[in-house]
Structure 1
């Protein structure tokens, strides 16, 4: 017997395309619940409720557009949103008599009910502060900077405008987040020493855009 050698990266998908599932259901599965194998890693329920289907009826039933009410990690995304990854073989249908059990009594919240507060600015490192103080002293501007306390040593965060990405879910970032009104408002999102978002927060935002 010959030896079998698998080449390439192992697929992360396990299931059928969304269109293959919906083509076998009445009315293309309107109001039925779909989930993905990728969602199984989350403790919170994640699923799509089908609201409208347009398929190209290609031989492999891979392509088209599905409009869904989407819940990701227990957060309901606003509106009925197009699901453009229906061609990925990663979907499975939740039977009607198992839908309540699938949610597991988890309280579904709307995205944006608990908005994350992002920091408005950060203080420059101590060595840079000392350099700036000496520099301003040489320019005979020392008194002006003492009056405003440490404000002169704070650098505002610049957040990328995700609307410029021209993606379907580009609006989700500013639905779930806002910038602190001033430096006295305590942020709910922490940064590490390199001034990047912490890993847990980055992962949660990435999951919501997929």
Structure 2
């Protein structure tokens, strides 16, 4: 049985999100993660090579949820503008409903070393490819500028979402992040329409 399907794997992943959010990645010893997960320190090493492997696995597991949600949105018979709005809302909702995960993705992952960030970017690629499908649909059906640079448009969409969430985290989530989704969608669409 693959380790990802074992209950303790998920327990450790969820514990790692909490420990890293509360202590910072560099101060999060494996022993703290084990304690939070309710497992022995040695159990961690049955599932993960080291702390870096835990962080990458956290991102893979949690990003998988974002990818699944986005695949469901893309599969729906909706125009690209609506799909873009649902994508933003879903992205914001997933992080607004898990403050620890928002802290880890928006703050802690940024402080990791270059090699770790490269591995994380590889995981993010799948999500960005799905985002491209929405943009291409909008370009093909005339909702979006058919001559826009897709790479630049993707960076604009993801960068705007990312910065909006980071600001929300830095402001200690004092306002409703999900309420901002339609406003972000409107601004982005204005920038991408012909």
User: TM-score range with shorter-chain normalisation?
Assistant: under 0.3
With CA pairs under 8 Å and 6+ residues apart, which has the higher RCO, 1 or 2? 2
TM-score, L = length of structure 2: 0.27
Q: Which has the higher helix share?
A: 2
TM-score, L = length of structure 1: 0.25
Q: Which has the higher strand share?
A: 1
Q: Which has the larger radius of gyration?
A: 1
